[in-house]
Structure 1
């Protein structure tokens, strides 16, 4: 047993629940074990901090203790972030605590192959496969950015493709929540991120934003589409110098299958100035129309695992289940299938709370059930849309902008069907509410664009529908005006 596994052994039980089975991963500051959940019988991943790594051993006693304090704080923050992120492409947190004085995180185990190994086996990828990986990654990253959280270490080694083809975004160990009052857990002079994927502002040790992840994701997309990184060592210029000062060539120069829209998207993501990069929502607007759709044929040659499978056969996507259902007041949650009558009663109660201006636990309970309801009942059942709309509106009113934004976006993209006047008005209102929520994260320019677009949409709608859009449009416009007049509010 090496130093990195000191105090951990096969068969040991962590937190009275997780029996360690085998060491499956080890990095500079952490190790990961596959474990069996003694309550559910399912596999789990248990991540431990490594207090005896070589990097720490090279420090003197004072520095080592200070570094350990920082690492423990960062470890706790990772657990808090995972507990808040709710997305099938991000391993959910099951538990966290301390075992033999070492902090640990227990989370969903993702088995499969890293994108790094996948590219080594299958590059150059068919375009449909490359886009399938990109769109799944972007969707998971959008969940993080909604909070908002910056991952800060997006790279092929931190993307896992499961046996079913589902792409998972891993390792939030150096992720950082944005906002005022956030404690820094980084030593002065240390540059976080991985060489070859760091944004220029990371290299220069400037404050990261969600656009920092966009640059790293641009590097990943470049590899997906071109079959090679945007910059490589050429004997005359180092990677850092190229990332700081050189413009990448279009990916289509290395792969003729790359369409112009993807060429431009990747080059925009690699802009040196963060403000010139697209948001993750704008990235998804380009990727989604190019992604495989239900019923599409499988790629040729078909890789294993196949990242197009979850998009071509969404009904076969494995259900993501937490080891314990969240506490709830309705009996419908503990059952194998959701109970329609109980859900309708929850919706009625949530609607009453919203009308009274005091949404509370019922709304949050609906938000917890939203994904499960869509998975069980599909996207066309009116009750599913009612759940999502009530949950989104309630969370917005309680100030949970991140949770509300995810729901508004999901409704606009997946639950509103058709393109008639009613549907156009619905989408306009939903996008305005999404923009309103994103204002809390500083996305003022994006909100202004949505306000302008919704004005054009309202002009082409019948009177009552136009009035509905204009009412919400004025609310969001007033919010933008107030934030522009108060720079402190814009940064909050």
Structure 2
């Protein structure tokens, strides 16, 4: 269950994400920096049975975390904090939250991955290891559950240094006689309790790549000890026996990685990458027949097909959180069930309380959790659902998450145009907010065009002195000024200032803001020509 009190007064546990031998992982929230985090709870038996042991464990973690922090690579999630609770029984590791899928979800014996996908994962892991081994940091516990593929296809290697902190690189036994460590991926030297080196990580990478291509574990047996015995003594099954279409050179590389003696494996991870390179998709090449991976999962080949590609344009490749049916606006309103109404009211109240504490990301998330069930019950373009979505987008804008708010405001403007008409007030408001997001994201030309088009509509409907028109005129003038178009900005802001003085008075906040802008413009306009 989530903590009643935030950890260290700032980290809240929201929902469980994963559990393993070392501890449970939670999706959490950092109330101080207003951002989502991952919180890993280290199990009590790992921390120790006394305050002294627990303190030593925490010190060991912090020492290892400082070393791990030197791995400067996007494939290594950041570790933000380590908190030992007052009972000295639990250690919480606070880390970057990665939105992605564990590599374990990719592996299935009846749905083998395209060779290019498996190689793309291994190549990215090799790149991460090259930076780690330079520090030097040895992972010691590389396995599919410690490898995530983020939504953009970037491979993230988790838990660097954790094995060293827990000292799982030797075959110790717990009180129940169970070996500590992930025995399915242990190099022979780990099983024997010997010294670990970068070649230990290469053996584990060979296990992972063999499993990605073959769809099954390298070794299986009725007991953990038999699997560990096989790692020390048994020859691995060549990949082409399991899957004939695997290239011979790739099979040779995997077998080289899986050699029993560390010194017999590839010299370093750079050599591994160079031998993987011929099987990576070249830049600009689209997937061919048989190269399409599983539907709905991140594609690790994208980074090689489109290296150093810019971010997708705002709204491109992403849909609004709730799909809209163009005909939905014509349907009769659906009564809101009492239970759903209460849940919506509770979500608004919770979100407002979070806003009071300037916890924008979490306030938006609270509303997001009720939007989908409300849309299913009431329709994607019901008034209640559109209001919830509008409120969430406004919070995202307020919190500075313009990239998330922009496509939602665009989608909302289209939805309101269907339900209230294209020149209706809700559609206009959403288009204005979308324009402001574009301005913040540097899309100034598009933002100005949208604001000017809206101003023409508002002038026709409500005149030049309505609150909406005044705000649009101010926004246009300020954008022009920010772009260095002082003369054009003066042409907009001068009559606006006169109107504001007349209607709202010289002491009004907006009047003063526009007046200050005009004073700055005047300094430039009145400067003597040179």
TM-score by length of 2: 0.51
Aligned in 2, Cα 1:185/1:213: closer, same or farther, shift over 3 Å?
Answer: closer
TM-score by length of 1: 0.54
Structure scoring higher RCO (CA < 8 A, sep ≥ 6) equals: 1
- 5+ residue gaps, structure 2, are 174-178, 313-530
Measured against aligned partners, the alpha-carbon deviations of 1:220-249 in whole angstroms (never above 9, x if no partner) come to 1111222223323289x9322221112223
Q: Distance in 1 between matches of 2:63 and 2:92?
A: 12
Provide the secondary structure at the position in 2 that maps to 1:248. coil
Measured against aligned partners, the alpha-carbon deviations of 1:56-94 in whole angstroms (never above 9, x if no partner) come to 8xx9x6xx6676456434433442233222211110123
Q: Distance in 1 between matches of 2:108 and 2:51?
A: 39
Q: Does 1:274 align with 2:267?
A: no
Query: Where in structure 2 are the equivalents of 1:5-404 lying within 5 Å?
Result: 8-9=3-4, 12-51=5-44, 68=54, 71-100=57-86, 102-120=90-108, 123-176=111-164, 189-190=172-173, 192-233=180-221, 238-278=226-266, 279-298=268-287, 300-303=291-294, 304-316=297-309
Measured against aligned partners, the alpha-carbon deviations of 1:116-146 in whole angstroms (never above 9, x if no partner) come to 1221387311111111111111111222111
Provide the secondary structure at the position in 2 that maps to 1:238. helix
Q: Distance in 2 between matches of 1:230 and 1:48?
A: 30
Measured against aligned partners, the alpha-carbon deviations of 1:239-275 in whole angstroms (never above 9, x if no partner) come to 2222111222321221122112211111111111100
RMSD of aligned residue pairs (Cα, Å): 3.3
Any conservation in 2 of the 1:23–1:34 contact (CA below 8 Å)? yes
Q: Distance in 2 between matches of 1:30 and 1:159?
A: 17
Any conservation in 1 of the 2:170–2:193 contact (CA below 8 Å)? no
Alignment length, in residue pairs?
300
Any conservation in 2 of the 1:86–1:92 contact (CA below 8 Å)? no
**Deviation, structure 1 residue 173:** 4.9
- 5+ residue gaps, structure 1, are 178-182, 320-492
Measured against aligned partners, the alpha-carbon deviations of 1:189-223 in whole angstroms (never above 9, x if no partner) come to 34553111111111111111111111111111111
Aligned in 2, Cα 1:302/1:142: closer, same or farther, shift over 3 Å?
Answer: same
Aligned in 2, Cα 1:80/1:313: closer, same or farther, shift over 3 Å?
Answer: same
Q: Distance in 2 between matches of 1:318 and 1:156?
A: 28
Radius of gyration: which is bigger?
2
**Deviation, structure 1 residue 157:** 1.3
Any conservation in 1 of the 2:15–2:27 contact (CA below 8 Å)? yes
**Deviation, structure 1 residue 185:** 8.3
